[in-house]
Amino acid sequence: MTTTTRPRSQARAARDGFAQLLRAEWTKFRTVRGWTIGLVVALLVIPAFGLLFAANSFSSCMQGTKEVACPVPPTGPGGEAVNDKFFFVHQPLTGDGTITARVASLSGTITYPPPNHDKIVPGNTPWAKAGLMIKEGLEQGSSYAAVMVTAKHGVRMQHDFTEDAAGSASAPGGRWLKLSRSGDTITGSESADGRTWSTVSTVRMDDLPDTVQIGLFVASPDDMTLTGNSLGGSISTSRLANATATFDNVTPSATGEWTRTDVGVTLGPDGHTPHRPGEATQSGDTFTVTGNGDIAPVTADGVRYSSILTGTLAAMIAVTVVAVMYITAEYRRGMIAITMLASPRRHRAIAAKAVVIGSVTLAGALVATVATIAVSLPILRDNGNFILPISFLTQARIVGGTAALLAVTAVFALGLGVIFRRSAAAIVTTFALIVLPYILATTSLLPTGPAQWLLRLTPAAAFAVQQSMPSYPHVLTSESPLEGYFPLPAWAGFGVLCIYAALALGVAIHRLRSRDV
Amino acid sequence: MDATIEVSGLRKRFGQVLALDGMSFTVRPGQVTGFVGPNGAGKSTTMRVILGLDTADEGTALVGGMPYPKLRNPLSEVGALLDAGALQPSRTARNHLLWLAHSQGLSAKRVDEVAELMGLGGAIRRRAGGYSLGMRQRLGIAAALLGDPAVLMLDEPFNGLDPEGILWVRGFLRSLAREGRAVLVSSHLMSELQDTAEHLVVVGRGQVVADTAVSRLIAAASNGRVTLRTPSRESAMETLSPAGAIVTVTGPDTLVIEGMEAERVVSLLTRDAVPFAEVSAHRATLEEAYMDLTRASVEFHGGAGR
């Protein structure tokens, strides 16, 4: 054997690391101008849509003939926008105490507006409620706990707007209720006869002041019906509703003086006449209380964060094209062979590609989404819009989740690119699996049922990361994809996409290993 | 790593076509080994199997004693040029070399070195898509040299080169071999390898037809025959036969002498004063030797070659 004398200059300095492959794939990506420009343009779509939306959304309210700033809903203890409107017959309570009453009856009226109806009919909406409440104060949005009967949902214990626990499914009439404070603990109980009590729920309320308001309340959300339209989807109609409850056996009956407060009542155009007032009458220990409105989170009537990010879909289309080209260009030119020469362990080359396209998209999309929200929110506010407040964590989930949604979609598209080796097939398949189901499910094209199944089974489920409003069982809203509600929680929907992406990469690597390049 | 390529008993079938049928040979360091055979003989497939791109149905291919896919920084062990057109056209030549360098942990400095070496110079920052075939071949060789590998495999590197380029590459390959590298160069034209390869692996129909030094191949093809035209046929035979030549009468005044070089024939005839009209040594060209070898194995099966 001839001895080799050739110099081995720097070749020996080379290390065998995945980091090298990452660097190589990054160099590949950044040195094709079409791809970098494509990705930047794809991500610029997000702020473009956001700004267009913000600049074209105006909101103003009339009071009589006057244009005024729209009223902003109060916020609850958790920072969420809330409805806090009910009739309250109350007295202060300092320290521990208990209130007991029997709801003798719950009735009400529903007003059908023109044009099809113009009449008032007796009846209650399902969530019409009457019961006992302990509330921090009389300001809207202040902390509270309440045990109540409802027209159709049995006995409930609710507190601080978002929390709801079910008691028995009893009909509202003739039910005994009890609400006790013991330090920071509030216990709601119910009874059929006023002697045998069962606890509905016990809640801890740390920030309750020493003196609170305790008493009887009645509220009734407006009636809403959802009717399917011919194309699927639904139309909601709303009708005004009032509820009237008769309370008897109210204890403490003698102690203190009862104050009546129409919490959250709005004033008419003249500025002093209450609009849709409630009322209460007392006869011995029997009270008849009429109220309307609701004590619950606001889920409609405001701008949602997801509306600002509607550019996500268009960005996704462009990101898909870039991600697919990133691999199929290599097949088209035969360059894949060189890639495999440089990394004969083929799965590593594809893994490096996936990490690069995923990270680049994630980083870029994160900048795009954060900037879009940051710039759009002030414009929307300037235009008089109310933005439904959401917690910082939810904001982070929407912004980060949207970026992650695009990043994992890019990885998914890359996997399909390896499987098909051709741009057209890979792009079309990605669209068919993500973009199309999302469009079908979130426009009025499909009824809610099939739309929800699409958003469970296809990778489009991952758009759940953009759901801005939680779904509250005790708030009647149209929880369809059309309204921005997803059948899966954000993490699960995102998980569906991740599973698809992992499957695509798995099949891609299998095919890559089992075939000649 | 030993600078060798060892191929042993490779078989591979593409559908109906048996592309490799027991291909076996060894490439040693320090010389340029020509890998020749007609189109479709299995040269490219063999190279792709050695590089782990294609999987053989049977047999082994080792580079420096290891299967290519087991190499850690493969481009620092083996440099290969398979298809000069395998480029992203919108990427500059320099960036093409740069990502390859990064994949092996090599620096941008090395990129500029090999580009300089291959005479790419100012064109290095142009898009590779605008390169002529000749420029792409140079870029491909530059890529093969990036990792300063002990083994080089070049598939048809002369394609598209101008005559000056061919000369330059020939010299360059010889100098690489002199540095102790194993250099395997495939070509379907034997003339391209003339004066470059010292060793030849001639293939046809997926098998090795000849695995020999170039000098021996030519000698074998020439077979040392000397043709003699003389009016004194009998005297010539009396002079040459005892001296060890095998003399065959092929015409009234023509003899063919085997086993003796022309110079010795002339000196013996002169010594014995035998008149002769012409002594001609028959020396085969590499081309002829190759044609002899491959005549039997040329196949015209369109589309089967890789």
SS (H, E, C) B175-242: HHHHCCCEEEEEECCHHHHCCCCCEEEEEECCEEEEEEEHHHHHHHHHCCCEEEECCCHHHHHHHHHH
* Radius of gyration of chain A, Cα coordinates, nearest whole angstrom: 30
Tens digit of each residue's pLDDT (9 = 90 or more) over A384-394: 888 888 889 99
Give the CA diameter of chain B.
Answer: 76
Tens digit of each residue's pLDDT (9 = 90 or more) over A442-496: 887 888 889 999 999 999 999 999 998 888 888 877 778 888 899 999 999 999 9
* Prior bond of A252 cis (ω within 30°): yes
Averaging pLDDT over each range in A128-132, B202-206, B273-277, which range is the top one? Answer: A128-132
DSSP state for residue A141 in the 8-state scheme: T
Given CB atoms, is A281 within the 8 Å cutoff of chain B?
no
Residue B160 counted as domain residue: yes
Residue B303 counted as domain residue: no
pLDDT at A256: 64
pLDDT at A91 over 90: yes
Q: A344: distance to nearest CA of chain B, Å?
A: 5
Tens digit of each residue's pLDDT (9 = 90 or more) over B143-156: 999 999 999 999 99
Q: Looking at residues B252-256, what average pLDDT do you find?
A: 87
Same domain, B176 and B228: no
Secondary structure of A275-302 in HEC code, one letter for each residue: ECCCEEEEECCEEEEEECECEEECCCCC
Same domain, B60 and B116: yes
Residue B302 counted as domain residue: no
pLDDT at A114: 60
For residues A148 and A73, give the distance between their C-alpha atoms in angstroms, rounded to a whole number: 24
For residues A107 and A121, give the distance between their C-alpha atoms in angstroms, rounded to a whole number: 11
Q: Looking at residues A139-161, what average pLDDT do you find?
A: 95
Contact call for B86 and A333, based on CB within 8 A: yes
Same domain, B36 and B88: yes
What is the average pLDDT value for chain A, to the nearest integer? 89
Q: Three-class SS of residue B79?
A: strand
Q: B248: distance to nearest CA of chain A, Å?
A: 43
Q: Looking at residues A367-386, what average pLDDT do you find?
A: 93
pLDDT at B297: 53
| CATH number, domain containing residue B44 | 3.40.50.300
Give contacts of B97 with chain A, Cβ < 8 Å.
none
Residue B306 counted as domain residue: no
Contact call for B104 and A344, based on CB within 8 A: no
Same domain, B169 and B292: yes
pLDDT at A60: 79
ipTM over 0.85: no
User: Residue ranges of the domains in chain A?
Assistant: 17-54+303-470+478-514, 82-297
Given the structure tokens 């909406």, which residue do they identify? A125
Tens digit of each residue's pLDDT (9 = 90 or more) over A53-85: 999 988 877 766 777 777 788 999 988 999 999
Residues 82-101 of B with CB under 8 A from A: 82-83, 85-92, 95, 98-100
Higher pLDDT, A138 or B304: A138
Given CB atoms, is A13 within the 8 Å cutoff of chain B?
yes
Q: B98: distance to nearest CA of chain A, Å?
A: 7
Residue among B296, B292, B205, B294 nearest B23 (CA): B205
Q: Which residue of A has its CA nearest to B179?
A: A6
Tens digit of each residue's pLDDT (9 = 90 or more) over B3-31: 899 999 999 999 899 999 999 999 999 99
DSSP state for residue A107 in the 8-state scheme: E
Q: A422: distance to nearest CA of chain B, Å?
A: 15
Contact call for A337 and B106, based on CB within 8 A: no
Q: Which residues contact A468 (CB under 8 A, 6 or more apart)?
A: A304, A305, A306, A388, A390, A394, A398, A484
Same domain, B211 and B253: no
Same domain, B66 and B184: yes
Residue among A82, A91, A100, A98 nearest A138 (CA): A91
Count of domains for chain B: 2
pLDDT at A230 over 90: no
Contact call for B102 and A23, based on CB within 8 A: yes
pLDDT at A348: 93
pLDDT at B286: 72
Given CB atoms, is B26 within the 8 Å cutoff of chain A?
no
pLDDT at B299: 46
Given the structure tokens 């070399």, which residue do they identify? B97
pLDDT at B245 over 60: yes
Q: Three-class SS of residue A125?
A: coil
Residue B230 counted as domain residue: yes
Residue B174 counted as domain residue: yes
What is the per-residue DSSP string for A57-106? ----EEETTEEEPPPPPPB-TTS-BEEE-EEEEEEEEESSEEEEEEEEEE
Residue B73 Cα distances to B76, B177, B301, angstroms: 6, 21, 38
Higher pLDDT, A201 or B257: A201
pLDDT at B188: 82
For the structural domain made of A82-297, what CATH number should be given?
A: 2.60.120
Contact call for A11 and B106, based on CB within 8 A: yes
Higher pLDDT, A424 or A11: A424
pLDDT at B23: 96
Kindly indicate the confidence band of residue A226, based on its pLDDT and cuts at 50, 70 and 90: low
Same domain, B134 and B236: no
Same domain, B45 and B164: yes
Residues 290-329 of A with CB under 8 A from B: 329
Facing residue for B82 by CB, picked from A4, A337, A342: A337
Residues 181-210 of B with CB under 8 A from A: 181
pLDDT at A12: 42
Percent of chain B surpassing pLDDT 70? 93
The pair of three-digit structure tokens given for residue A238, joined into one six-digit string: 């709303």
pLDDT at B131: 93
Contact call for A14 and B105, based on CB within 8 A: yes
Instruction: Average the pLDDT over each of A435-439, A500-504, B251-255 and give the range with the smallest value.
Output: B251-255
Same domain, B44 and B59: yes
Q: A357: distance to nearest CA of chain B, Å?
A: 15
Residue B109 counted as domain residue: yes
| CATH number, domain containing residue B248 | 3.30.70.100
**Contact, A322 vs A28, CB < 8 A?**
no
Same domain, B79 and B210: yes
Tens digit of each residue's pLDDT (9 = 90 or more) over B223-242: 667 888 999 888 888 888 88
pLDDT at A120 over 50: yes
**Contact, A204 vs A185, CB < 8 A?**
yes
What is the average pLDDT value for chain B, to the nearest integer? 88
Facing residue for A11 by CB, picked from B98, B102, B148: B148
Q: A37: distance to nearest CA of chain B, Å?
A: 13
pLDDT at A228 over 90: no
Residue B271 counted as domain residue: yes
Same domain, B24 and B146: yes
Q: B235 lies in which domain range?
A: 224-281
Tens digit of each residue's pLDDT (9 = 90 or more) over B104-139: 999 999 999 999 999 898 899 999 999 999 999 999
Same domain, B158 and B264: no
For residues A343 and A353, give the distance between their C-alpha atoms in angstroms, rounded to a whole number: 12
